[in-house]
Amino acid sequence: MMFKPFRTGLVSALALAGAVSAAQADGSLTVAMQLEPPHLDPTSAAAAAIDSVLYSNVYEGLTRFASDGSVVPGLARSWDISEDGLTYTFHLAEGVTFHDGSAFDAEDVKFSLDRARAEDSTNAQKGLFAAIDTVEVTDPLTVVVTLSKPTGSFLFNMAWGDAVIVAPESADTLQTTPNGTGAFKFADWVQGDRIELVKNPDYWGTPAVLDEATFKFISDPTAAFAAVMAEDVDVFYSFPAPENLPQFDMDPRFKVLAGSTEGETILAMNNKLPPLDDVRVREAVAHAINRQEIIDGAMFGYGTPIGSFFPPHNPDYVDLTGLSDYDPEKSKALLEEAGVTLPVRLKMTLPPPSYARRGGEIIAAQLRQVGIEAQIENVEWAQWLETTFRGKDYGMTIVSHVEPMDIGSLANPDYYTQYDNADFQAVIEELSVTADPAQRSELFKQAQTMLAEDYVAGFLFQMALLTVAKTEVEGLWVNMPTPAVDLTAVHWAN
Amino acid sequence: MLRYTLSRLLSLGISLAVASVVIFLAIEVLPGDPAAYMLGLNAQPDTLAALRDELGLNGSLWERYADWVGGMLRGDFGTSYTYRSSVSEMIGERLWVSLPLALYALTLSTVIAFPAGIWAAARRGKAADVTVMGVTQLGVAIPNFWFAMLMVLVFAINLRWFSAGGFPGWDKGFWLSLKALTLPAIALALPQASILARVMRSALLDTLSEDFIRTARAKGLTKGQALRRHALRNALIPVLTIIGMQFSFLLAGGIIIENVFFLPGLGRMIFQAISARDLIVVESVVMLLVFAVVLVNFMVELAYALVDPRLRARA
């Protein structure tokens, strides 16, 4: 009898909880992901989590990515490109309002683009706007952007989350109160726990099906598993523990979506650090790696092998994995030919994600077989950025490059890979001024081949996107052309 | 009593000043630039410089220390580098989870430990004593995160009585929030209760062998009466010390449990802030925790004086 008050309390608490989850059944969805956005302005930070929550849902740009990675009209419904490829005339959608009620027009576009490329801009992808010379407003629904040089990827650049259109009045407060034009409005943010969005009733385009969407942040893989199993969440985007996926697959309550991302996962090598400055040594490293063993061991079988710095789902992809197939005997021969003293000792820095930490252990074991001793050093991201990425104090490291179409970043000789090949730089330079699709495709293929033949890095695998969802949830993106959980078309079956 | 209080306050002040210097230096020497962390791989040098300027990261070490301490004295903990919102507000929000959780766990731990410890001491060597000692031995040995995961498996995944974690917020209903904190509080309380019960038992047994208890028995009190009227109060000093330490531990040390139940508490905030090099948040929260620990110790010392009049006289 002593416990009676406690039990009554518990029962009423349970009843309350039951009532809440029943009300959530239809028009609402809870999506969980691991990382929480640091703030809510995609135009002033690199954190992918910001885009994951807000891209397309709350903020929109002139163009946008569709689920297959193609670039489709966004706030700009159509555009004309001049013959010389320098002038883009964007025709904007009519009757668009921001969530705070103010009207959207060409001035907002001019403001957003000028803000992103200004001298004191804190845009993490400022390079996307580098080619813009002037932005002019001709009438409230027309913007003319003039480029200083032809840029084949300009419409693609404008689809990034970092290029969304914001209003001048609210630009300084976006970090806490996002104000966009999308199909969902920001409602609430309980820091450390969740962000709530509600349907925008005044949306200019096809309205969202869901009435409410909640993003929950669960960083611990074990907790992630428990949250899905207890049905606390309806979707877990980028599920962190691939070892649990077979269990979800068998459970009729859930489905597992395995898609592709833009994340080329590589064993980066410091191309200027002896003995890695010798292409034969880099080739030896490449042949010592057994990709399938890494995919199986670190990613539980999810991931597609790659042979260069390019995603396999792209139409311009060339399969170059044969150039660096697993062949430890060849590795040993190459090392002997290069005349290095064995064992070769190299520092391998590993950032926190499990692909790097688990993958690093496996690669170290594989390299040991051919006489390369990898000295593993586990680091946090902040430390990795400072010492490995900027300080270039490393021999090898494992990282997944998630930006779309980032093959050009390797053309920068000051990049952390320190790869310096004038021919490759020329191809990338030509790509940036070429707009013709056939020519671009040819150049992309050339660039991929050069990287593979120069063994710039150990190319491992394309990161898979693993999403666990309740069976009845439909309309989710399976692939990740950009970090986004686009909920505009998501709905419950029946 | 006044002089005793003043001398405790002085030592509180000195502890805080020393802690602030140690925390600041320890965190400033960590490699890693918050601006680089925020802007990622494609950031251009001029963008980095602009952001560093905006965040005020370009001042000298001494300037930044003076800014930080000066701000705290005025009650202003500064603005988070990554979240860009006021650190005091962030801490305030998180405290609404961590503080109730710590109190909840401490209450559970005390409510379990007191009767168990007294019962075991009163029946020394009998079945009750053996049971309590055995169970608490287990409670001390089981890691709390493992016990937490076990509870999630049973009560959230199989029985579906509780959510696997998360926190709805007090404004969404008191019982709902209390329920969300129940499994975490039990997980935190179990080892604490075990330790406390064992301390309670041994402190009582020590007191029970004192001369004054024999005198009390000789006067005609039963064993139970002697225990309640004379032994209990005298055994409280070590128990209070442990409760004070446990409260500090529960407030600061809930980080693993907060991760298991994905609760938006202080521990998780520190964890996130360290990896993002959000130094100002780390410094301020650690300082706050030091303050809480020092304050709790101070209150425990005052409580000693209440329990034991001799301490009042001596000081």
pLDDT by position in tens, chain A (length 494): 333 333 333 334 444 444 344 334 468 999 999 988 888 999 988 888 899 999 999 999 999 999 888 899 999 999 999 988 899 999 999 999 999 999 999 999 999 999 999 988 889 898 899 999 999 999 999 999 999 988 888 999 999 999 999 999 999 899 889 999 999 999 999 888 999 999 999 999 999 999 999 999 998 888 999 999 999 999 999 998 888 999 999 999 999 999 989 999 999 999 999 999 999 999 999 999 999 999 999 888 999 999 999 999 888 999 999 999 999 999 999 999 999 988 999 999 999 888 999 999 999 999 999 999 999 999 888 888 888 998 899 999 999 998 888 898 999 999 999 999 999 999 999 998 888 889 999 999 999 999 999 999 999 999 999 999 999 999 999 988 888 999 999 999 87
A202-241 burial: b if 16+ Cβ within 10 Å, else e: ebbeeebbbebbbbbbbbbbbbbbbbbbbbbbbbbbbbbb
Q: Are residues B162 and B14 in the same domain?
A: no
- Considering Cα of B55, then B61, then B67, then B72, what sign does the dihedral take? positive
Dig out the tokens for A169 from the structure: 């009045």
DSSP E strand boundaries for chain B: none
Quote the pTM value.
0.83
- Considering Cα of B41, then A428, then A308, then A369, what sign does the dihedral take? negative
Domain assignment present for residue B165? The answer is yes
φ, ψ dihedrals at A254, nearest 5°: -125, 160
Cα–Cα distance, A344 to A360 (Å, whole number): 17
CB pair distance less than 8 Å for B83 and A38: yes
Residues 177-236 of B with CB under 8 A from A: 178-179
**Chain A with chain B: Cβ pairs closer than 8 A:** 179
Please give, rounded to a whole number of angstroms, the shortest distance from the CA of A89 to a CA of chain B. Answer: 28
Q: Are residues B101 and B59 in the same domain?
A: no
CATH code, domain with B226: 1.10.3720.10
| Per-residue confidence (pLDDT) for residue A26, from 0 to 100 | 67
| Per-residue confidence (pLDDT) for residue A7, from 0 to 100 | 37
Q: Are residues B132 and B41 in the same domain?
A: no
- Considering Cα of B27, then B28, then B34, then B36, what sign does the dihedral take? negative
Q: Are residues B233 and B145 in the same domain?
A: yes
Task: Write out chain A residues lying below 8 Å of B163, CB-based.
Answer: 17, 230, 232
Domain containing B275 equals: 91-309
CB pair distance less than 8 Å for B261 and A223: yes
| Per-residue confidence (pLDDT) for residue B69, from 0 to 100 | 87
Q: Which residues pair with A80 in a beta bridge?
A: A89
pLDDT band at B254 (very low <50, low <70, confident <90, very high): confident
**pLDDT digits over B72-83, tens only?**
888 888 888 877
Nearest CA in chain B to A40: B83
User: Domain A262-463 has what CATH class?
Assistant: alpha beta
Q: Are residues B61 and B204 in the same domain?
A: no
Q: Are residues B153 and B285 in the same domain?
A: yes
Region for B307 from its dihedrals, namely left if φ exceeds 0, alpha if ψ lies in -120 to 50, beta otherwise: alpha
Domain assignment present for residue B100? The answer is yes
In one letter, which amino acid is A56? S
Domain assignment present for residue B83? The answer is no
Q: Are residues B181 and B49 in the same domain?
A: no
Averaged pLDDT for residues B121-148: 90
Q: Are residues B96 and B69 in the same domain?
A: no
Q: Which CATH architecture has domain A2-39+179-260+465-492?
A: 3-Layer(aba) Sandwich (3.40)
**pLDDT digits over B48-99, tens only?**
888 888 777 777 888 888 888 888 888 888 888 877 788 888 888 888 999 9
Please give, rounded to a whole number of angstroms, the shortest distance from the CA of A155 to a CA of chain B. Answer: 19
| Per-residue confidence (pLDDT) for residue A204, from 0 to 100 | 94
Q: Which CATH architecture has domain A60-173?
A: Alpha-Beta Complex (3.90)
CB pair distance less than 8 Å for B39 and A216: no
Task: Write out chain B residues lying below 8 Å of A217, CB-based.
Answer: 262
Residue A446 neighbours by CB distance under 10 Å:
18
In one letter, which amino acid is B230? H
Q: E strand or H helix at B200, and its extent?
A: helix B174-208
| Per-residue confidence (pLDDT) for residue A62, from 0 to 100 | 96
Domain assignment present for residue B315? The answer is no
Q: Are residues B21 and B158 in the same domain?
A: no
Domain assignment present for residue B81? The answer is no
Question: SS3 for B86?
Answer: strand
8 Å CB contact between A75 and A60: yes
Number of structural domains (chain B) is 2
| Per-residue confidence (pLDDT) for residue A2, from 0 to 100 | 36
| Per-residue confidence (pLDDT) for residue B125, from 0 to 100 | 86
In one letter, which amino acid is A9? G
Domain assignment present for residue B205? The answer is yes
HEC assignment per residue over chain A: CCCHHHHHHHHHHHHHHHHHHHHCCCCEEEEEECCCCCCCCHHHCCCHHHHHHHECCCECCCEEECCCCCEEECCEEEEEECCCCCEEEEEECCCCECCCCCECCHHHHHHHHHHHHCCCCCCCCHHHHCCEEEEEEEECCEEEEEECCCCCCHHHHCCCHHHCCCCHHHHHHCCCCCCCCCCEEEEEEECCCEEEEEECCCCCCCCCCCCEEEEEECCCHHHHHHHHHCCCCCEECCCCCHHHHHHHHHCCCEEEEEEEEEEEEEEEECCCCCCCCCHHHHHHHHHHCCHHHHHHHHHCCCCEECCCCCCCCCCCCCCCHHHHCCCHHHHHHHHHHHCCCCCEEEEEEECCCHHHHHHHHHHHHHHHCCCEEEEEEECCHHHHHHHHHHCCCCCEEEEEECCCCCHHHHHCCCCCCCCCCHHHHHHHHHHHHCCCHHHHHHHHHHHHHHHHHCCCEEEEEEEEEEEEEECCEECCCCCECCCCCCCCCCEECC
In one letter, which amino acid is A474? E
Domain end point (choices B19, B39, B73):
B73
Q: What is the DSSP letter of B29?
A: T
On the question of pLDDT at B173 being above 70, the answer is yes
Q: Are residues B154 and B300 in the same domain?
A: yes
Q: Which residues pair with A142 in a beta bridge?
A: A91, A139
Task: Write out chain A residues lying below 8 Å of B267, CB-based.
Answer: none
Q: How far apart are the first and last CA of chain B?
A: 7
Sorted by sequence, the CB contacts under 8 Å of residue A171 that are 6+ apart come out as A111, A115
φ, ψ dihedrals at A422, nearest 5°: -60, -35
Of B31, B265, B269, Cβ closest to residue A387: B31
Q: What is the ipTM of this complex?
A: 0.79
For chain A, which residues make up each domain, given as ranges? 2-39+179-260+465-492, 60-173, 262-463
Q: Which strand ranges, in their side-by-side order, compose the sheet holding A87-92?
A: A76-81, A87-92, A142-147, A132-139
In one letter, which amino acid is A159? A
Of B44, B85, B277, Cβ closest to residue A382: B277
Of B166, B179, B264, Cβ closest to residue A13: B179
Task: Write out chain A residues lying below 8 Å of B41, CB-based.
Answer: 46, 389, 401, 403, 409
| Burial degree of A73 (CB within 10 A; 0-12, 13-18, 19+) | middle
| CA B11 vs CA A471, B5, B20: distances in Å | 61, 10, 14
Residue A188 neighbours by CB distance under 10 Å:
11
φ, ψ dihedrals at A253, nearest 5°: -75, -25
Domain assignment present for residue B84? The answer is no
CB pair distance less than 8 Å for B84 and A39: yes
Q: Are residues B118 and B152 in the same domain?
A: yes
Q: Are residues B295 and B212 in the same domain?
A: yes
In one letter, which amino acid is A489? A
User: If you search the block for the tokens 């009049």, which residue do you land on?
Assistant: B309
8 Å CB contact between A181 and A167: no
Cα–Cα distance, B160 to B149 (Å, whole number): 14
Q: Which residues pair with A259 in a beta bridge?
A: A465
